[in-house]
Amino acid sequence: MIKPDSLRRALVAAIPAFGTEPGALSVLVEQGSVATTGTLTPSFEYRYTAHVLATNFSGDTDPVFVALVEWARANQPDLVTNPAARASGITFEVSIRDQAAVDLSIRLTLTESVVVTTRPDGRHVITHVDDTQVDPANTLTWVALPQIR
């Protein structure tokens, strides 16, 4: 899985305090499942909830959500383009610690497609579909990041 780390990096870039305060930001993977393609290849899709937890956060939450939406637009575009995903794909809860700080809990429903092909020598070529390369015409053209394992 590559999206949780990417999400964390985007939030740290937008909110520098997340990178300087130990334990201020956690990104967890919850309720994960693997959906197989049913084809003759071992290709599959990760389906999971990314749980972002900002503890003792004392800043304005708007920049956090702006960074989150920008990240989603680039990395999980259905969260902003699909009406059903927009309705429940990003949820949050806030626990008020005191007048100056909150615990912010955000959940995003994410997927990652993994295409697996087998080379003639039997080694697998594992390719994560690059969701940052969205085709505006929606013609299902994919740009992939290959990895040989």
Domains in the chain, CATH or no CATH each: 3-115 (3.30.70)
**24 in Cβ contact with 14 (< 8 Å):** no
Q: When comparing pLDDT for 148 and 72, which is higher?
A: 72
For residues 55-70, average pLDDT: 93
The rounded distance, in Å, linking the Cα atoms of 46 and 3 is 10
Residue that the structure tokens 């949820």 belong to: 91
Note the pLDDT tens digit of each residue in 23-62. Answer: 899 999 999 999 997 778 899 999 999 999 999 999 889 9
Q: Cα Rg for the chain, rounded, in angstroms? A: 18
Angstrom distance (rounded) from CA 66 to CA 27: 17
User: Measured between alpha carbons, how far is 73 from 144 in angstroms, rounded to an integer?
Assistant: 18
Q: Which of 2-16, 19-33, 132-146 has the lowest mean pLDDT?
A: 132-146
100, 58 contact by CB (below 8 A): yes
- Give the SS3 label for residue 43: coil
Give residue 51's identity as a one-letter amino acid code: H
Determine which helix (DSSP H) or strand (DSSP E) holds 6, and give its type and residue range: helix 3-14
Q: Which pLDDT score is estimated for 99?
A: 85
- Report pTM: 0.81
Q: The dihedral of CA 33, 142, 4, 71: what is its sign?
A: negative
Which pLDDT does position 138 carry in this prediction?
45
